[in-house]
Structure 1
Amino acid sequence: MNFLDELNESLRTKWKFKQPMPIQSQMIPEMLSGKDIVAESPTGTGKTLAYTLPVIQMVDGDLPKTQALIITPSQELSMQIVNVIRELVEGTPVTVTQLIGGANMQRQVEKLKKKPTIVVGTPGRLNELVREKKLKMYDIQYLVIDEADQLLSREYRVLVKSLIEAANPGRQLAVVSATITDEIELVAKQLMKDPIRLQVNSDEIPNSGQVVHSYVKVDERKKTDILRGISALSGVRALTFMNNVDQLRMKELKLLYNDAPIAVLYSDMKKLDRQKTLEDFRKGTIRILIATDLAARGLDIEGLTHVIHVDVPHTAEQYVHRSGRTGRAGADGEVLTLLSYPEERDYRKVSKGIKTVQKVWYNGQLIEGNAKTVDDLKKAAPKKSKPKVKKKK
């Protein structure tokens, strides 16, 4: 039976895709049957709908209490999920609100007094509201941990576990991510009851676009210049990653000085500044957005042509998550790494098993080839004739 037949009429009428993605076909029936789930599927393959549709169906909008909680690692991802849910619950009694850091806490408390059916939020703010006895976790029957590889890592694990353990003992828990390591799976299972493990690989995705993984060998000090050059290329919209917030801030100063169509996104920015930056990027006013992993987690930006690694990621999982921002929903894309000599060994590790292509930055263009290609191009380029200087008599 098609899982759409199990959804109520309101949700069926809002389904606007020709065919479901594999993770949706697998996950929705299992969630509707009440199972705890560990789900792994590449980025851009429909995981948000795979859990929001059953959650919306299972909650009761007429009950004056918060029944479902979706935890995410970033403000932007929380807002994105809230927008998806608002569209799906339009015309029904189901309500949703977001509880994120960086926003006015008193306003969030006022929203909680109205008993929203579903809450989406970040771990820090959620725990604050629980401690203040403003968010009643005992009422939570349905819990989703999105980007679980990050939220169940050591950095967030204590906060997230405390939220899960405070929920109703009969809760249903779903854990989703593009990558689920053995450690994360073990932690998840400790918090679950007979969980089902779902896994979708990239070769199972229908109509998946072609994503090229390329690299350019470059001196560390020239990375900023190449970014500026790429931002001038026609049609480029790139999400760019750096490992370190301090380095990102230094890049920001250098790029803004030269008035390039580039902006930065990091977790310490004010909420309104972050929203405006993302809005400008989506509109195309900004061509390249430089971010840390935390700031860019789960962002779904339509028409993204490139992901650029200014720094080589620390792990293969990081490389997968970053790279998955482009080539979404069947579109083509390119993952470009600006590779300094000291980073070559790390790049080989994180990109192991992926076909990579070397490119060169020459004369304001990305060209497939290597260092010898540049020498050949220089030799082939017509030499500028020197102006003749008349000798004085």
Structure 2
Amino acid sequence: MSFLEKMDDNIKNKWKFERETPIQSQMIPELLNGRDVVAESPTGTGKTLAYVLPILQQVDGKKMQTQALIMAPSQELAMQIVNVIREWVEGTDITVTQLIGGANMQRQIERLKKKPTIVVGTPGRLVELVKAKRLKMHDIRYIVLDEGDQLLSRDYRVIVKDLIEAANPERQVAVVSATITDEIELVAKNLMNDPIRLHVSVEDMPLSGKVVHSFVKTDARDKTDLLRGLSHLPSIRALAFMNNVDQLRMKDMKLQYNEAPVAVLYSSMSKFERQETLENFRKGEIRILIATDLAARGLDIQGLTHVIHVDVPHTIEQYLHRSGRTGRAGEDGEVLTLLSYPEERTYRKLSKGFKPVQKVWYKGKLMEGNSKTVGGQKDVKKTKKK
């Protein structure tokens, strides 16, 4: 493991993995050599350590100066990154603090007075702290955009650009994500200095588990009942995705009324509510956690048996982002789509490369086959009303 030889003893001693992942072996040497990087690698392939370890190697914890900034689009992802860093800096002089919306700003200002070596934050809160002259961007030499496709989307682009341009002119910038479009790559390049483009696909991952892609045909109005049924299967631990926040809240009310082990995560929930929901899910008290893409951004939940598309996603990027959360670290997984008749055409386009298996919900079980082969039920597909 060539890059480890260049690392200090603290990192060498804490490295307990049998081998590095492809994105780590590609990205770490480039960052240590001072290159700007645009890196694309599937969810769960070790991207966080691929940028964290070079930062830890290059910053100086003895300096009373904030030297590195990691940006993330969601509070949960920011908190996860901070937890990873805390693990690796234990016993060193390097310090880290999180600067996220929804948390007490005054407390964050107090922490900034102590000049943490690394800060991890969400764009809105970072801008507030820069405007209040509490976060000194000029000292920052290392910048990472995690989930860079979202941070460089039109929603955040101007904010992120301003933050990068306010940093030290000698800065190094890394953009990482599971999917990077040509547009995002172009935007990234305009903010960077001759970046190297790295790309790892699912096929490059030596530890990828077997992931089955499947679908169940159902009426849109029956999806809640089907979710409730699935939530009572002891073998299931699923992250389920919907496209629409309002529908999400309706599902929440219906499922709560029927006392299913299901919970809903949406971005307007308080920080405490979100943390409690995630904790209950991790403990197994909740079997299915339903969320939108925004609410689930960056959530790293170990041991998911299923990803469920309650709504068919709009794009292949969405489908891959969602689906990549199961079948991680050598575990098998299943990507199940609840497919209503109007969604069939979109689903056919999205699943071209996956050869999905048709399944049917029959007598409280999810079984392979269609309604004609299992139980002789009528096909649930309806003809369109005129």
Give the TM-score range, shorter chain: over 0.9
The TM-score, its normalising length taken from structure 2, stands at 0.96
Equivalent in the alignment of 1:323? 323
Q: Does 1:261 align with 2:261?
A: yes
Determine the C-alpha separation between the residues in 2 that align with 1:53 and 1:177.
Answer: 17
Secondary structure of the 1:355 match is coil
Q: Does residue 116 of structure 2 align to residue 116 of structure 1?
A: yes
TM superposition shift of 1:266: 1.0
CA distance in 1, matches of 2:351, 2:64: 49
Deviation at 1:350, TM superposition (A): 2.3
**Structure 2 letter corresponding to 1:313:** P
Deviation, 1:371, is: 2.7
Q: Distance in 1 between matches of 2:130 and 2:244?
A: 31
- 1:49 is matched with 49
* Cα distance between partner residues in 1 of 2:212 and 2:315: 19
Question: Which runs of 5 or more structure 1 residues have no equivalent in the other structure?
Answer: 379-393
Name whichever of 347-356 and 282-291 sits farther off. 347-356
Give matches, 1:284-323, under 5 Å: 284-323=284-323
Name the counterpart of 1:351. 351
1:1-393 superposed matches below 5 A: 2-376=2-376
> CA contact under 8 A between 2:362 and 2:375: conserved in structure 1?
no
| Superposition deviation, residue 86 in structure 1 | 0.1
Contact 2:138 2:167 in 1 (8 A): yes
Q: CA deviation at 1:355?
A: 2.0
Amino acid at match of 2:199: Q
Conserved 8 A contact 2:218-2:339: yes
C-alpha RMSD of matched pairs (Å) = 1.1
Secondary structure class of the residue paired with 1:239: strand
* Cα deviation code 1:108-151 (max 9, x no counterpart): 11111111110111111111111111111111100000111111
The offset of 1:14, in angstroms, is: 0.6
1:329 match: secondary structure: coil
Displacement, 1:207?
Answer: 2.4
The residue type paired with residue 290 of structure 2 is I
8 Å contact 2:79–2:98 — kept in the other structure? yes
- Which string of whole-angstrom CA distances, capped at 9 and with x for unpartnered residues, describes residues 148-177 of structure 1? 111111111111111111111111000001
Residue type of the alignment partner of 1:153: S
Q: Which amino acid counterpart does residue 81 of structure 1 have in structure 2?
A: I
Find the aligned partners of 2:324 and 2:273 in 1 and give their Cα distance.
25
Q: Residue by residue, what CA displacement relative to the aligned partner does 1:197-230 show, whole Å, maximum 9, x if unpaired?
A: 1111111111210011111111000000010000
Aligned to 1:390: none
1: distance between equivalents of 2:197 and 2:242?
A: 32
Q: Deviations over 1:298-322 (max 9, x none)?
A: 2111111011011111111011111
* CA distance in 2 between partners of 1:130 and 1:152 (Å): 19
Shift of 1:375: 4.5
CA distance in 2, matches of 1:35, 1:115: 26
Amino acid in the other structure paired with 1:333: G
One-letter amino acid of the counterpart of residue 70, structure 1: I
- Percentage identity across paired residues of the two chains: 75
| TM-score, length of structure 1 as denominator length | 0.94
> The residue matched to 1:145 in structure 2 has which SS?
strand
Q: Secondary structure at the match of 1:371?
A: coil
Q: Indicate if the aligned counterparts of 2:371 and 2:377 stay in contact, CA closer than 8 A.
A: no
Which letter does structure 1 place at the counterpart of 2:346?
A: D
**Superposition deviation, residue 351 in structure 1:** 2.3
**2:66, 2:211 → 1: CA distance?**
41
Moved more, 142-151 or 364-373: 364-373
Unaligned stretches of 5+ in structure 2? 379-386
The one-letter code sitting in structure 2 at the alignment partner of 1:223 is K
Q: Could you list the per-position Cα deviations for residues 325-374 of structure 1 after superposition, in whole angstroms to 9, with x for gaps in the alignment?
A: 11111111111111111111111222232221111111111111123123
Q: Could you list the runs of 4 or more consecutive aligned residues of structure 1 that deviate by over 4 angstroms after TM superposition? A: none
Distance 1:8 1:211 in 2: 38
SS at match of 1:360: strand
The amino acid that maps onto 1:252 is: D
Question: Which whole-Å CA distance do the structure 2 matches of 1:243 and 1:162 have between them?
Answer: 30
What is the rounded CA distance, in whole Å, between the counterparts of 2:116 and 2:235 in structure 1? Answer: 41
SS of the residue corresponding to residue 330 of structure 1 reads coil
Matches of 2:350 and 2:106, distance apart in 1? 43
